[in-house]
A and B are shown apart, each in its own frame.
Chain A
């Protein structure tokens, strides 16, 4: 039973792999062209070896030997160059198509997929693992085909000299395979150890070099020096061992090669001595035999690289196999001004249930705060209203209508959600403010939302204004400034529903005050739901919902909740003693 399970698993990954290749739109025309060139080069190469053998043997007639030799030399030069270009272009097309494929998929994957693997992982899937797949095709699969063709051509050529010589050579091929296999195994384990030690060194160094402030303020320079040196020495020892073993194995490689050569010579010698083959044929045979030997060595190399590429292809094919988020099907969402209700909702991120049978009503046209201790599920409520994760039971409805009926694309566009991360991209301030916006707002419009978010003065102080470039991730801005721009960007969407998750947490006291005054004005009569954990922000709510451990502890008008709920009383208390 176990065996069949393994078989199914293997079969599954092959099925995924071929399924992925089908989706990838490989550049078949270029692949065919590449193969054609390779076959041409192999044919020319066989002739070139023969003519040079004749030259070596002293057959120097200009018309029958020298001239044809020069012609094949030039043809192989031209073909070789063209074939190189074709291979490179083919690889470039393949990389592009594979990357396009993965990116198209990545954009549509549900958020839960990113939570599992970590988003950073996806970067190397797109940029590097795709290269591994094209390597698999261009450097392994295609060479296996051309290598087989080349071997066949060589053996065929030798059989024209003497069929028995050809069969003798075939008979000793397994000897080569065994030699090469043994040699191939020698260095394996050691490289893994070196890679491990180097990875440990890099990890240790990056952890500390990224936190120099802590090292300095703790005064731990000397112990860090010692710890780093230990890792360096571990890496050094692994490398020394590998160098030593590598060099010891060198004479063994030599002996293996010698044995191959001697066997080859012994086989050919008899034929040459008996006059079955001529001197030029002997020279050609000697050349061909070593070519064949190299081809076999390559084949064993392919297997090793295939193993290392397998991981990368498997991860990409898993991504391609994962279900996408369906964003287009469903009714178009319009007005989301109504009351929001979570009705008997069950939800969990993983194994542990977060909400069980949770029911909440968020009043329309008011500002509602969701508060509670960390881990109580505050942000999750916003995520579920935005339908970032599918709920496992119950319904989320707005204005009495089940939100699952709307198409995701129109639904999410119909509201604004400012997440904790407040994402900004490398680009101008204008680009960042207009993220996800189809229309191009006027400067006056931008001024208005920036004024509300309390960042207009800053924009005006910049010589380039809205065309100022911010670095990767908005690196040139402070946390408070990024939050202000993100709020401004959300306001630009002019929706009836605004969700804010700790959207003003990094702002100073004046900043918070100003932004909230602005939000109250702009969103008057519209629905705002926010998560916050500081008293100053919560004071802006009309209605408060207190969550604890995934359940509603209390809900009601601000004045009532602040006066009666212990959690809120403690939070709002001015003197700590009063909380006791």
Chain B
């Protein structure tokens, strides 16, 4: 078992290399031609910009002729059209890449094994689709932009050298210094960003935990302590803000200092050259204009390089997930024709390897009967139901359906055999009908009504404003808890499961609804195989077969009458719920 543990750990420490990055981009098609067109347009644009600079210089020299102004205007419009086209192509290409990457990732998420879903947390999966995949197109766009920025930089450098060969020596200082400054600032920025994000998250976590518990604070009359603790959380964020106030400004100061070096140099060197008659009197304008372009492109390239590195983390998460395991839903045998017993043979399973929930468990759930699973919290009852449906795979042992190993069956085929109802079943925003049809999209109105009647839901649905077409709100928030449960049960019954699994399905209902719903389910599904997990012994004594679990092992299984003799746990449960063990009826 320890060997397996090592295996699981290794999987999560998957490292992301350049090779993986390239493989990531082969998972969907990339509109290369759009990127290439946009690159060509980008090069044309930088040529036009160099021309524009000439006009800026002319204006600064007071050359304000009509022809100059008109030519400037024409050039300016032409270059803006080129820029618009460039942005259009790269923009659409990015959107296409994002869309395709999203589809790929969403497909993967839907096919992740449940263990991976648990490990990754839903919120991370969601941001994987909504924000992380955006970085896939950013990375591509950046690569093309860097190419055109490098070209522009080269052009600007040539112009600077043309303007004044002697003074262009400053380039030797500016470019390497730029790299140094950006590296330094990048580090500081990373640190500031990290602190900001962490401190904001810590504060938000505090408030989301405490604001939602307003009732608790009031019932314990602990407003004063609560206020103090909240102020501390606010002050912690304030300290982080002060840190970034100063460090953030140091970055800005570094940039301004760096930018002024060129200005100061041009002023001193240029003025002395003019005084010495080595440069024409308005030469500073020319030189400064082109030098500014050098600055602009240097910083463009370096900024793009920085953000390239930032995309890495986000893509690593998505890439890592795409590399990971996935379920092949339709690969495998179909379900056995005949309804058979469900059996577990020496099954061991744990959500993490160190703590097995089921331990070498062998039990039989007889076909066509009602089986109750009982045992204390954490004895493995719910886990057993999940394993039956192949949502989790046993670490060892075999699960059989009518004698066939379920591991060989296609997950879809296997899960279609089951209906699964929990204590709280999620509903989705949409209509009542949409929710009931969730697992059976081809159902007719008549079938829907029949299922709703079986779940004792038809009555209240008819009374809703729009009947079956009533919008139930996000998570079904417009319905009461009992109504939600009935809709969920109808949804399950509509899929016509061969085996019905109910995990504390009535625990959140008041006993009247509980009784009505289950009587109806039981009558309508007579002859079906039903497995019930319940703490209410009234449901348990009704069962044909009872399995008593104790810490993931079988204590005993058998009919209620047999268990009265063989199981102390069963007997004590009955006693604690007021059953007089000698005879029938309640102890009143």
Q: Which residues of A contact B (CB under 8 A)?
A: 55-58, 60, 62, 65-66, 69-70, 73-74, 77, 80-81, 84-85, 88-89, 91-93, 95-96, 99-100, 103-104, 106-109, 111, 114, 119-120, 122-123, 126-127, 198, 201-203, 205-221, 223-225, 228-229, 232-233, 236, 239-240, 243-244, 246-248, 250-251, 253-255, 257-258, 262, 265, 268-269, 272-273, 279, 282-283, 286, 325, 327, 373-375, 386, 388, 408-413, 417, 419, 421, 423, 425-426, 435-436, 472-473, 478, 480-481, 505-513, 533-536, 539, 559, 562-563, 567, 570-576, 578-579
Known interface pairs A58-B274, A572-B588. Does A243 touch B245 (Cβ–Cβ under 8 Å)? no
Residue of B at shortest CB range from A233? B99
Q: How far is the CA of A268 from the CA of B107 in the complex (A)?
A: 63
**In the complex, A246→B205 CA distance in Å?**
38
A417 to B217, CA, bound (A): 11
Give residues 89-109 of B contacting A (CB, 8 Å).
91-92, 95-96, 98-99, 102-103, 106-107, 109
CB distance A55 to B284 under 8 Å? Answer: yes
Q: Indicate if the CB atoms of B271 and A62 lie closer than 8 Å.
A: yes
- 20 example contacts (A-B, Cβ-Cβ < 8 A) are as follows A58-B274, A58-B282, A66-B271, A96-B235, A203-B429, A203-B474, A205-B126, A209-B129, A214-B425, A214-B426, A216-B114, A240-B92, A258-B76, A409-B221, A410-B221, A412-B220, A419-B219, A426-B209, A513-B576, A535-B578
Residue in A219, A239, A539 whose CB lies within 8 Å of B416: A219
- Besides A265-B69, A505-B507, 19 other A-B contacts (C-beta < 8 A): A60-B271, A60-B281, A77-B260, A85-B246, A89-B245, A100-B231, A205-B129, A228-B106, A251-B81, A253-B80, A255-B77, A265-B64, A388-B215, A419-B216, A473-B209, A508-B376, A508-B535, A535-B578, A570-B511
Query: What DSSP secondary structure best describes chain A's contact surface?
Result: helix
Give 1 or 0 for each of B514-558: 1 = CB within 8 Å of chain A CB.
010001000000000000000111100110000000000000000
A417 touches B219 (CB 8 A): yes
Q: Which residue of B lies closest to A387 (CB)?
A: B218
Pick from A62, A123, A374, A423: contact of B482, CB under 8 Å? A374
Please indicate the chain A residues that have their CB under 8 angstroms from the CB of B480 in the complex: 374-375
Are A562 and B87 in contact (CB-based, < 8 A)?
Answer: no
B387 proximity list for chain A (CB < 8 A): none
Complex interface residues of chain B between 228 and 284 (CB less than 8 A to chain A)? 230-231, 234-235, 237-238, 241-242, 244-246, 248-249, 252-253, 256-257, 260, 263-264, 267-268, 270-272, 274-275, 280-284
User: Would B126 and A202 count as touching, CB distance under 8 A?
Assistant: yes
Residue of A120, A240, A436 ringed by the most chain B CB atoms within 10 A: A436
By the criterion CB–CB under 8 Å, are A480 and B426 in contact? no
A41–B221 Cα distance when bound, in Å, is 52
Docked CA distance A480–B379 (Å) = 13
Complex Cα distance A58/B242, Å? 45
Contacts of B2 in A (CB 8 A): none
Contact B244 A88 (CB under 8 A): yes
**CA of A209 to CA of B281 in the docked complex: distance in angstroms?**
69
CA–CA, A243 to B253, complex, Å? 35
Which 3 pairs, one residue from A and one from B, show the smallest C-beta to C-beta distance?
A58-B281, A88-B245, A436-B220
Which among B174-182, B310-318, B450-458, B579-587 touches the partner chain? Answer: B579-587
Whether the Cβ atoms of B85 and A511 lie closer than 8 Å is no
Task: Answer yes or no: B210 CB below 8 A from chain A CBs.
Answer: yes
B211 contacts A70, CB within 8 Å? no
Number of interface residues of B (CB under 8 A): 147
Closest to B381 in A: A508
Is the pair B576, A213 in contact by a Cβ cutoff of 8 Å?
Answer: no
When the two chains form their complex, are residues B538 and A574 in contact, meaning their CB atoms are under 8 A apart?
yes
A104 to B130, alpha carbons, bound, how many Å? 35
Interface centre among B218, B275, B329 (most CB of A within 10 A): B218
Digit string of B73-84 for contact with A (CB within 8 Å is 1, else 0)? 100110011011
Chain B residues in contact with chain A, CB under 8 A?
Answer: 59-62, 64, 69, 73, 76-77, 80-81, 83-85, 87-88, 91-92, 95-96, 98-99, 102-103, 106-107, 109-112, 114, 117, 122-123, 125-126, 129-130, 200, 203-205, 207-223, 225-227, 230-231, 234-235, 237-238, 241-242, 244-246, 248-249, 252-253, 256-257, 260, 263-264, 267-268, 270-272, 274-275, 280-285, 288, 329, 375-378, 386, 389, 391, 411-412, 415-416, 418, 420, 425-426, 428-429, 438-439, 441, 474-475, 480-482, 495, 507, 509-513, 515, 519, 535-538, 541-542, 572-573, 576-579, 584-586, 588
In angstroms, Cα B584 to Cα A250, docked, is 86
Q: Which of A80, A109, A205, A327 contacts B256 (CB 8 A)?
A: A80
A579 and B64 contact, Cβ closer than 8 Å, known pairs A201-B130, A255-B77, A262-B73: no
